[in-house]
Structure 1
Amino acid sequence: MGTTTSGRAAPLAPEDRREALTRVFIALAREHGRVPTTSEIARAAGVAEGTIFRVFPSKDALQSAAVESAFCPAPARRDFLAIDRSQPMRERLVDFATTLQQRVRDVLDLMRALGLSQPPPLERHSACLGAGKHLRSEPAESCEPLHHDHFEDVLDLVDPDDVTVTPHQLLHRIRLLSFSGSHPGISHGELLTPEEVVDTVLYGVASGRARKANDPHHA
């Protein structure tokens, strides 16, 4: 954010200041693994501590806004749509898995920092502050949690003639493996790379010889 010659942040509209402070809160929480103090937030944002309470009634209100912003999936959806469709299918899907895994890691890091046992419920009317100004005019459902019913806009990542399941089913399997392969507790520390996730779903792990030996239709 811009600063004045005094080192303080340049004046912002209240809505923009709220967004800037939520971003600082999230960054500090992830960096330090705990809830930041208001003095830490103010120092990192380049504002006086009292500025926080001119746009938020309390620190709890700032934390609630930051959590709502951090867990909003709209930025991930934007990244899905930005994937280069001219790439081969495997590379498109690796980009898809990379975005999914980054979101899982970001969410888990913030949950640990804030002491949350599960993601908070997102309201359909969420403002999605962390998604950027250009998303404020999007439909309210853009802030609903990611699940396989929300992949209609990215089904073109899959070449349907090259797989034996529907594009919907393929993306759903990549989503499931991306989550479990990115969660330290589920994976017992043996995390999967996006390439491993995609190759496991697309090609499996059996060798060509094993596939032939176990294929009852192989002549």
Structure 2
Amino acid sequence: MTPRGERARPMSPDERRDAIVAATVPLLAQQGGTVTTKEIAEAAGIAEGTIFRVFKDKRELFMTVAERVMNPPGGREEMAAYLAGTADLRAQMVLVVERLVARMEQGMLVMMALRSVFMAEGPDKQAKHEKPGPPAFIVESNRQLMLNLTEVLFAPHAAELRVAPATAALVLRSLVFGAWHPGMPFSEHPFTPDEVADVVLRGIAEPGNH
């Protein structure tokens, strides 16, 4: 806490960007693309004009938010930290699935908000010459997730697996993304993280029946 009578140290541009992004994430989740820069400024405790000193427009702010949600800084270190409390592969998988589902649900809310903004404002003129396909940050997010699952979750348990750690990572990621994607029809009883761990580790056939 800053002593009374002393002014708080001014934030650097990077710190200010981080604070604005952090304030924007829950607002996007609650209100979607209708959230205003005035509301974001109020949540961040700053003047509205401050937003436009670190972001050129609302589109750039939302894109930065999406990137941080989809591929948060320090994701590898965070995974290693929360897995350190248990050495059991199944228990670790349950923890990973819980985190992945929460991150994916938040990411989908942000991406839907982005879509509404893009539809209202039209295409980004600066992006006309970019190659078609998903934004680079989504590609990088998937690449980093696969590395983390392979190297942090499965590689330490390689002796317990009958497939390569990278294959195990792909199976887990595919099952989670397919099961929890909001566009997929689903049963009345969605998967639980425990069920995902069981299917990945044991398959779907009864022992001795295949």
Q: Where does residue 159 of structure 2 map in the other structure?
A: 161
> Is 1:181 matched with 2:144?
no
**What pairs with 1:107-122 in structure 2 (closer than 5 Å)?**
107-115=107-115, 120-122=135-137
Q: Where does residue 130 of structure 1 map in the other structure?
A: none
Give identity over the alignment, percent. 33
Alignment CA distance shift 1:110-1:95 (3 Å): same
Mind listing any 5+ residue stretches in structure 2 that lack a counterpart? 119-132
For 1:101-123, what per-residue CA distance to the aligned partner results, in whole angstroms no more than 9, with x for missing partners?
22211211111222279963229
**What pairs with 1:58-69 in structure 2 (closer than 5 Å)?**
58-69=57-68
Q: By how many angstroms is 1:164 displaced?
A: 2.0
Q: By how many angstroms is 1:77 displaced?
A: 2.5
The separation in 2 between residues aligned to 1:42 and 1:77, in whole angstroms, is 31
The separation in 1 between residues aligned to 2:165 and 2:182, in whole angstroms, is 28
Pick the aligned partner of 1:145 from 118, 141, 151: 141
The separation in 2 between residues aligned to 1:169 and 1:31, in whole angstroms, is 36
TM-score of the superposed pair, with normalisation by structure 2: 0.73
SS at match of 1:184: coil
Task: From the two aligned structures, give the one with the greater helix fraction.
Answer: 2
Task: Answer whether contact 1:89 1:158 (CA < 8 A) is retained.
Answer: no
The separation in 2 between residues aligned to 1:4 and 1:52, in whole angstroms, is 27
* Count of residues in correspondence between the two structures: 188
Q: Where does residue 32 of structure 1 map in the other structure?
A: 31
The separation in 2 between residues aligned to 1:102 and 1:195, in whole angstroms, is 15
Mind listing any 5+ residue stretches in structure 1 that lack a counterpart? 124-142
Two-structure CA RMSD over aligned residues (Å): 3.2
Q: Where does residue 124 of structure 2 map in the other structure?
A: none
Question: Deviation above 4 Å: which 4+ runs of structure 1?
Answer: 2-5, 116-119, 155-158
> Which letter does structure 2 place at the counterpart of 1:183?
H
For 1:119-178, what per-residue CA distance to the aligned partner results, in whole angstroms no more than 9, with x for missing partners?
63229xxxxxxxxxxxxxxxxxxx922247524431556533333222222222111111
Task: Answer whether contact 2:71 2:137 (CA < 8 A) is retained.
Answer: yes
> Which letter does structure 2 place at the counterpart of 1:177?
L
TM-score of the superposed pair, with normalisation by structure 1: 0.71
